[in-house]
Structure 1
């Protein structure tokens, strides 16, 4: 795996570093976020890990101003007011509106500055909402995308995803991938400048790309311990290739 030049700065942006209301969920999310940080450092990135809810929009934008690339991580549901959704919906989760606002601002600036950005799970949804898209608020219980009624560290469900052959994502991972996912929401109306480049067998969007900016969102978790070996490494390596093209 080619290493990132040591000068490249990667911002790994999560929701929050504190969930006293749900320690099991927090421990699992922390595991996933930590795996991204470790792999990025192994590739030679200088990594900053920032919790959007803990710092707010202004501080997040300032602390990532010099980032060469960004990863927006998974986590809680986005508050419906940011995409015009119903205020109550099935399987509704906790909302961190400060994180939502901060990450939305971060995506919009990344588009403006052509900063390479990878959104993972919630991160994909943040990309879509930031650019004016909407979300399916709950995909229901007949789903291939999440294991239901199991401990949090067993929620990931494996399934196939078809990737558009002409996409940047296919150039990185190939036209067919096996993924690990755990989500109950999905992309509905697409945000401005986005195209769907991967779908699951049930037709749900699994990845989007921006038509001009080096921005990709994936609905699955390559950082999960059960994900195919090498998937996370390839996606992070693609960020520094995108940075070189954007320069």
Structure 2
């Protein structure tokens, strides 16, 4: 049986540090690669490039994974910056093109953290630029180790996330932004006690997004590896 090819949208850094001679690099966190491999998929890294190439990239994969990283620029959801953001326009533009093509070609999408926020923006939703005034839960857990779950979430009955994680579980947390207005066609399928949206899905499309990081804990928590198995084999 042919292994599913899972396209993972890459990130970039301008200076990789002394060990790599301060080179600019294109990269993907290894957790995505290893988890996809363990789930039986073939990971294929999609480097940031010209949006016009998105059609060809999506044609070569079976499913698309959108990873975490920089803040989504508020220009894409009709707002001005209200705080200092770490946005990267070229990445936003390329990944928005990947999303458009994945929807056109009917390819499933799994979106993590920033990726979930970008899916919401791509479909017409908005973001909270800073959740510090909206919650008393710590959503940026550093320096607590990345694989340690730090707050509870609940999931929607009969949702994909409920089938993977159960009705209630604990997850890690590394974000200062969140979904605000939910895009038409998306459904809130996980949330934290403060009301922050932690998961979303689309009833009519094979889209699943999570605000936490399964890639940080796939080798420590069975529920996170189960999420990757679902994405690779069932989404």
TM-score, normalised via structure 1 length:
0.81
- 1:36 maps to 32
Q: Do the aligned partners of residues 96 and 61 (structure 1) sit closer, same or farther apart at CA in structure 2, a change above 3 Å counting?
A: farther
Q: Map Cα deviations across residues 126-172 of structure 1 (whole Å, 9 max, x no partner).
A: 1000001000110016442113xx55977986111000112111112
- 2:46 maps to 50
Aligned residues: 226
Q: Map Cα deviations across residues 27-72 of structure 1 (whole Å, 9 max, x no partner).
A: xxx99721110121122212111232xx232234322322111110
- 2:227 maps to 235
Q: Do residues 211 (structure 1) and 203 (structure 2) align? A: yes
Higher helix share: 1
Q: Do residues 20 (structure 1) and 15 (structure 2) align? A: yes
**Could you tell which deviates more after superposition, 134-143 or 183-192?**
134-143
Cα deviation, residue 107, structure 1: 1.7
- 2:88 maps to 96
Q: Do residues 202 (structure 1) and 194 (structure 2) align? A: yes
- 1:59 maps to 53
**Could you tell which deviates more after superposition, 218-227 or 174-183?**
218-227
Query: Structure 2: any 5+ residue segments left out of the alignment?
Result: 19-25
- 1:26 maps to none
CA RMSD of aligned residues (A): 2.7
- 1:170 maps to 162
Query: Structure 1: any 5+ residue segments left out of the alignment?
Result: 24-29
Q: Do residues 111 (structure 1) and 103 (structure 2) align? A: yes
Q: Please say if residues 116 and 215 of structure 1, whose CA atoms lie closer than 8 Å, have aligned partners that are also in contact.
A: yes
User: Secondary structure of the equivalent of 1:224?
Assistant: helix
- 2:139 maps to 145
Cα deviation, residue 6, structure 1: 4.0
4+ runs deviating over 6 angstroms: 152-157
Q: How far apart in 1 are the matches of 2:38 and 2:71?
A: 30
Q: How far apart in 1 are the matches of 2:192 and 2:167?
A: 12
Q: Do the aligned partners of residues 227 and 84 (structure 1) sit closer, same or farther apart at CA in structure 2, a change above 3 Å counting?
A: farther
Cα deviation, residue 221, structure 1: 0.6
- 2:76 maps to 82
Q: Do the aligned partners of residues 125 and 66 (structure 1) sit closer, same or farther apart at CA in structure 2, a change above 3 Å counting?
A: same
TM-score, normalised via structure 2 length:
0.85
